[in-house]
Amino acid sequence: MCGRFVIASSPEILADRFAVTEVGFDEHEADYNVTPRAMVPVVRARRQTEGREEARVLSLVRWGLVPSWAKDPKVGDRLINARAETVATTNSYKNAFAKRRCIVPADAFYEWTSTDKLPPPEQKTKAPRQPYLVHRRDGEPMAFAGLWEIWRNEAVEDRDAPDAWLRTCAIITTDANPLLEPIHSRMPVMLPEQAWDTWLDPDNADLAELESLLVPAPEDWLEVYPVSTRVNKPENNDASLVERVEV
């Protein structure tokens, strides 16, 4: 899964990296410990409509997908990750997969050693699970395959009010590659640059083609190393969290 990640790149860097033509916000503070419900940048394609040109847009949405039919936005707390194997058929995700795909940029993500590496149960105390940081060797932001949705808050009568609509996203995960498998069985799908147009195209209805993109990233893209257990607490959020430690 992907339960925490890092997005420290500025909107300007992201706009340049992902060939964005329109940025929907002025600034976004570096976040070294992104948690569910955080507002995160996503890249999506916008169709041409009356008064608006077709564009690749960078905008802020809340992490944790809320389907349009949901009665309560709290359901998004359970929908931060969509499994590649079932994303096209699961009720919570299938509409977004067909029509509202996005890229979730990330400078890195965290993963923890699996439960079987914890101390034996007979020990009186358990050591904190060891976090690892995963990032691209070339230093470029990762392009997580994502989905986005828009939810109507029926409690707000004025449809033009800022809080009448909620935009949210989820990150698609797949089997871990051999580099990450010793740490965790899942990893985010990382799209290569040549797949971005295909993935973002809202008119692309070839689900088989889209599903073929949902594969583990090559091992040689990535570097993995242990980091401080300070990242285990969401309230800790600073650049020291991404520094390598000895274990």
Active-site positions? 2, 111
Is 116:74 a contact under the CB 8 Å cutoff? no
Phi and psi, residue 225, nearest 5°: -155, 155
Nearest to 145 by CA among 105, 92, 185: 105
Q: Specify which residues 59 forms β-bridges with.
A: 42
DSSP state for residue 178 in the 8-state scheme = T
End-to-end CA distance of the chain: 23
Nearest to 208 by CA among 197, 218, 196, 198: 198
CA atoms within 13 A on the CB side of 133: 25
Cβ neighbours of 234 (radius 10 Å): 12
Quote the CA–CA distance of 243 and 219 in Å, as a whole number: 21
Going from the C-alpha of 129 to that of each of 133, 183, 219, 230, the distances in angstroms are: 13, 11, 24, 11
Quote the CA–CA distance of 89 and 72 in Å, as a whole number: 22
